Structure 1
Amino acid sequence: MDVTRRLRRSVVDLAPLFGDGDVITVRLGRTAWHIGWSPEWTKYVIGSHSMWADLDILPLGLAGHAAYYGMGGLPGAPPERHRTVRTAAVRTGFTGAPKPSVLESALRAAVELARRRGSGELDLAMFARALFLVTTAATVMDLDLDSATVRRILDWFDRWTKIMSSPLIAVGGPALPFTPANRLRRLLGPWYGYLADLLAADAGGGGLLTALRDQVACGDIARQEAVGYLATILFAGTEPPAHTLLWAHALITAVEPDELGPVDAGRADVLLWEALRAQPAIGVVVRRVCAADGGYRSASPDTYVVAPPLTHRRSDARNGLPSSFRPLTEGPTRLDPDEYPGLGAGFHHCVGARLGMSVARQALLFLLAETTVRRRPDLAPHGLITSAPRRLPVVTL
């Protein structure tokens, strides 16, 4: 219970539990959760070819959705299948930098959704999340989302994160009313249904949505699996990069202007990577050993967890770097992937890193140039699945 209470606030609160060790183990029934914070642990878990996100981690109520995992739909199949899809996405250019016209349109849409009428304030969380959702949908799937759909999808993401952050998530199955697993089943139904409708629609154009639709029609992959990839791409293309942008902007606005100096595109890129080093947006990364038979079930009851905020602390100490944000740093502009898993590590690198950082760079430049800070942030980290400052800065356009 001590572990769950600490996790409820922030994964950073787990640090005192490690003592001099690299891994702590928590047992829930017949399952052991192993949480590590050394760079070696990160490489062992995230860089492994034998581990992937898996359905059997918790009783999440996914009956009828055998290929889905969480809000993202990443199946627990062996990595070779995922590598095939990732390679296809990269080669077709779906995850590269967005077209300038797409980004300009997404910025306008995000501002319209986030602007508070009368006060001129910009809801930064809505701005960042809407921006990445709209850009990811347009760039990767050739999908134009209207404002109502953006709000509906972000509401699904919010509800999923709240359920998954509950200390009671592992208690009770989906058949029991009011349990987190039951609530999750009721949430995932409309979310996956929406994605299945997109996949079934007879629409032209290009993008990964059309490519997956063709693969389903040819029998190369199951419809559930295709929907799972769509769920993963939309969630992972929205929440982690949006929170990375929010952290970078908050860390920058917390310092005095003369400590920062002018910020151009190159400088913005450095500051985003520095913010990722100092405060990763992802709180936990969960893996289990894949089944040897190629199915969707795990071959092991043990669950392996990497906590990037803690891993970064250990990496910084080993490399002689401060844990705090350095506004005048000249680098590193690229981080060791086995020590900084915020954008993926080793074999499981983030296929959308180029797209996400391209959008974040332009969004950061926009915020610094077009908004005025009225109140500085509270930089205490808050959140389990994704981390954000406890209070974002207040800005006006």
Structure 2
Amino acid sequence: MILKTFGWSFGVTAIGLAAAFYFWGWEGFAVVAILSVLEISLSFDNAVVNAGVLKKMNAFWQRIFLTIGILIAVFGMRLVFPVAIVSVTAGIGPIDAVQLALDNPDQYQEMVTDAHPSIAAFGGMFLLMIFLNFIFEERDVHWLGRLERPLAKLGRIDSFAVGVALAALLLTASTVATHAYQHGGTYSDESSTVLLAGLAGVLTYLVVGGLSGFFENKLEEDEERAEAEVEEAKAAGQQPTMVGLAGRAAFFLFLYLEVLDASFSFDGVIGAFAITNHIFWMALGLGIGAMYVRSLTIYLVREGTLDEYRYLEHGAHYAIGALATMLLVSIRWHLPEVVTGGVGVALIGLSFWSSVRANRADAATRRGGGDDGDGGGVDSGKSAIPSGV
């Protein structure tokens, strides 16, 4: 199972590290390896949340996510995205931006750093919307019940999550963004930029998440009709296919996953500049890390880990909320990568341990013939996608 799921990741790791050593020696090898570990640590919560969405897809779309999706993740976000930032910021063509990254990496890094406020605002608000819609949604299983139950009641108010997110954006634009950090230790007022980028992040979530939620809800209706069509096809001597029936819903879930992955990758790309400004080292290291995140997502789905460890998805969403907050704070203050990655890993680790303890308590209760009480039920099955956005 491990080799089948992580085989491509192992292969890409071997090829990537070998290429780094061949072209750039031990220095390139070491930096690429460090960046790989950095990306995995920063994106572990991404894998958990992805698994919550991916388990709704059939095997065909899971393969699409692992193939086409990884191409988008590696080449789109880890290589093309930094180049696109410089291209737009400097008003030059993509080829010139790549040439700039090779010939003058310091200037390239400066342009990416100066674009950080808009990147952090977009990604931070998108991730914040995911967290808010999770925490304000009523569910059967609670990890931190004293906190989650009152918040779930507030979520009954129409568009409450959107209101909280916009309030957070206004606060960030009017305080943190007035002294946004720039390359070289200088500061500038980026209030309008942060406000526009943050609004774009909220709007992207509402559009993509809303479409995903809509088609997810319709998927059950499609499956019911599919069963009737399958019986009719069999009666007519035809071989039906289920891929087309679930294709539309799965496509929008796939689109949602790609936007989600893009938002998670922002901190990894920016954080990589603290280690190196070599464009190809970054692409190799972050790309290897992205492969493991994809494989880990598939592993969680196939092993049913989210159902077995009931609080794991809660921990991942709390990690998302923490990451969203740190992205917004980083507009003004630089946060070490060990902090941004460590907080997420710690929250997921705590939720995993809480799940293990709850499972042991349930087993002991069953042996004693008693009731397992609140929080001991089955996984609610809620994902990051909102119902009713």
- For this structure pair, what is the TM-score category when the shorter chain's length is used for normalisation? 0.3 to 0.5
- Please identify which structure carries the higher helix content: 2
TM-score normalised according to structure 1 size: 0.32
Q: Relative CO higher for 1 or 2, CA cutoff 8 Å, sep ≥ 6?
A: 2
Structure 1 or 2, whichever has the larger Rg, is 2
TM-score normalised according to structure 2 size: 0.33
